Amino acid sequence: MTTHYDNIIIGSGQAAPSLAVSLAGRGETVALVEGHELGGSCVNAGCTPTKTLRKTARVAHIARRAADFGVQTGDVTVDFGAAMDRMRDRVATARRELTAWLKRTKGVDIITGWGAFDGRDGDKFVVNVGDTRLTADKVFINTGTSAFTPPVRGLETVPHLDNVGLLALTELPRHLIIVGGSYIGLEMGQIFRRLGSEVTIINSAPRLATREDADVSRIIQTLFDDEGTTIVNDATIAKVEPSRNGVTLILTDGHSFEGSHLLFATGRTANSDRLNLGSVGVETDERGFIPTNPLLETNVAGIWALGDINGRGAFTHTSYHDHEIVLANSNKDAGPLHQWKDADQRTITYAMYTDPPLGRIGMSLADAQKAANDGRNILTADMAMSDVSRAKEEGEVIGLIRLIVDGETEQFLGATVFGFAGDEIIAVLSNYMATGASYRYMQQALPVHPTVAELLPTILGNLKPLAAR
């Protein structure tokens, strides 16, 4: 038996639920196919659980600093089981609410199982979900990514974790060894250090978070050093082997580290291998990601790729933005739509949720320097968080604010906000950049005092040309 829908969505990451409900609201039928848990990585193993656990870690950290604020406490300990229960309850609630929303939406059917293409039936696409055969006029792929674990000698002999396995733990690691010095490794390293684990981060690069500017990496390094995390940069793993208390990791220079748990935070791989894309001619790159045009269309008309799987940004917010682009371009007769930018026009913004957080959009200083070297008129200005009154009042003086502007168009090109409320402040700049307005309008704004963001007009007043090197 075959069931036909106007649309099939494979995978329920952040683009999928809102896309399904919006299409159903237009009177179209939608099959939402999910092989695991509704909500994708964000709800189940990403934003929702990690930010919930981060809060516990931050509360513990602030409690240990209580004397800095004139508050006396005794020894601060963390009930790891209670913290994990709180995290899992938050995940279960988010997933339950999402499921209820979808189930009460007329026109949306949730199909449980792993979906895979099976060619065409005339001009319709065929998708099999186990023994269930579906057809549709349009298919949207939103299957995301999974953790990548590199080949390491001896790895088959030792238990090891990815981000999903880490969040399934029921006992606090005595010593967590993390392979990877980028965003996930840093976020989880700081969380588990604050929860009470000894933490060692093995980083193959010369410095942490190499996508960021070198001075930002140095601040991150100092932050982790001060909190008692061991960082080993420019490290190459020779092998791992079991030990009496867990696992031993041995570097090529002979240094070794013994830990109770081993986590790999070494990047992501595309979830495209189960989709049988060849049966309908959808192309992938050498890493399994699905290239798209600016409207998120694949090389096959009628099939779109949304979210992490298209390689345009491994973030929940880019996935959600993808669905808005698709909706805005799929019904030209619907009148004015709020989303007019395509995926090539948007400027990618993101945050790293260390504490303090790092917010970033557009050009880094290194990018700006390259542009200046090519003859472009670039203006930049920095301010240390230690010069921001609100940050000092909060006792949160780590970090900096960096603004980058085009000297000719006066438009923002990029910003870094590393420090107190950096994740929120970068959203202010992202929203402003979307307007394409001159930075001078921001200079004329009336800010609220005392805030960190009130310093943005002041910093803009200190813009200076970036000299070529």
**What residues are labeled active site?**
449
Cα 2–chain centre separation: 37
pLDDT at 336 over 80: no
In a domain, 175, yes or no: yes
What number is the average pLDDT over the span 456-467? 98
Q: Which structure tokens are listed for 80? A: 């790891």
Domain CATH for 416: 3.30.390.30
Q: What integer is the mean pLDDT of 230-256? A: 97
Query: Does residue 181 lie within any of the structural domains?
Result: yes
Q: Is the same domain home to 175 and 195?
A: yes
One-letter amino acid at 403 equals L
Report the relative pairing of strands 108-112 and 30-34 from DSSP bridges.
parallel
* Structure tokens given for 297: 């269309």
Flag whether pLDDT at 69 surpasses 60.
yes
Question: What separation in angstroms does the CA of 390 have from each of 191, 357, 452?
Answer: 25, 16, 6
Give backbone dihedrals phi and psi of 120, rounded to 5 degrees, phi first.
-125, 155
Is 187 annotated to bind a ligand? Reply is: yes
Identify whether residues 123 and 200 lie together within a single domain: no
Say if residue 262 is in the same domain as residue 293.
no
Residue 289 · residue 166 · CB < 8 Å: no
Do 139 and 273 fall into the same domain?
A: yes
441 is in an annotated binding site: no
Q: Is residue 343 part of a domain?
A: no
Distance of CA 394 to the CA centre of its chain: 27
The answer to whether the bond into 450 is cis (omega within 30° of 0) is yes
Question: How many other C-beta atoms are found inside a 10 Å radius of the C-beta of residue 261?
Answer: 22
Residue with tokens 């602030």: 62
Instruction: Kindly tell me the sign of the dihedral angle through the C-alpha atoms of 19, 21, 23, 25.
Output: negative
Indicate whether 73 pLDDT > 90.
yes
Residue pLDDT, tens place only, 167-212:
999 999 999 999 999 999 999 999 999 999 999 999 999 999 999 9
Determine whether the annotation assigns residue 51 to a binding site: yes
What Cα–Cα distance (Å) separates residue 79 from each residue in 53, 83, 170, 435? 12, 6, 11, 47
Helix extents (H) in 117-239 = 163-166, 183-195, 214-226
Last residue of a domain, which of 266, 294, 312?
Answer: 266
Q: Is residue 338 part of a domain?
A: no
Flag whether 207 is in a domain: yes
User: Which whole-number Å values give the CA distances from 315 to 115, 193, 289, 398, in the listed order?
Assistant: 23, 25, 15, 25
Is residue 183 a known part of a binding site?
yes
pLDDT at 313: 86
Q: What angle do CA 292, 297, 300 make, to 5 degrees?
A: 100
Is 5 annotated to bind a ligand? Reply is no
Residue type, 89: D
Q: Please check the confidence at residue 341 and state whether its pLDDT lies above 90.
A: no
CA distance 384 to 379: 17
Domain boundary among 248, 266, 284: 266
Instruction: Say if residue 40 carries a ligand binding annotation.
Output: no
- Could you write out the DSSP letters of every residue in 411-422? BEEEEEEESTTH
Split at pLDDT 50, 70, 90, the class of 248 is very high
DSSP-assigned letters across all residues of 143-186: --EEE-----TTGGGS--B-HHHHTT-SS--SEEEEE--SHHHH
Domain final residue, candidates 211, 231, 266: 266
How many separate domains does the chain show? 3
Q: Let me know if residue 339 belongs to a domain.
A: no
How many helical (H) and strand (E) elements, i.e. helices and strands, does the chain have? 13, 22
Least confident stretch, 159-173, 328-342, 385-399:
328-342
Q: Do residue 313 and residue 453 come from a single domain?
A: no
Residue 91: give the domain boundaries: 2-146+269-330
Mean pLDDT of all residues in 422-442: 96
In a shared domain, residues 167 and 208: yes
pLDDT category, 330, cuts 50, 70, 90? Answer: confident
In the predicted model, what is the mean pLDDT of the chain? 96
Instruction: For strands 198-202 and 175-179, give the pairing.
Output: parallel
Same domain, 114 and 164: no
113 and 57 in a common domain:
yes
User: Is 276 in the same domain as 139?
Assistant: yes
| Cα angle for residues 424, 426, 429 (degrees, 5° grid) | 120
Q: Does residue 308 have a known ligand-binding role?
A: yes
The mean pLDDT of 133-143, rounded to a whole number, is: 98
Q: Is residue 309 part of a domain?
A: yes
Dump pLDDT digits (tens) for 200-212: 999 999 999 999 9
Token pair in block for residue 380: 């930049």
Residue 311 annotated as lining a ligand binding site = no
**Does one domain contain both 117 and 16?**
yes
Rg (CA), the chain: 24
> Same structural domain for residues 249 and 161?
yes
Is residue 185 marked as binding? Answer: yes
Give me the DSSP letters along 347-413: PPEEEE-SSS-EEEEE--HHHHHHHHHTT--EEEEEEEGGG-HHHHHHT----EEEEEEETTT-BEE
Percentage above 70 pLDDT, the chain: 98
Distance CA 252, CA 236 (A): 6
Q: Are both 444 and 357 inside the same structural domain?
A: yes
In a domain, 291, yes or no: yes
Q: Give the per-residue pLDDT at 162.
A: 96
Alpha-carbon gap, residue 110 to 260, rounded angstroms: 40
CATH number at residue 19: 3.50.50.60
- Would the annotation count 267 as a binding residue? yes
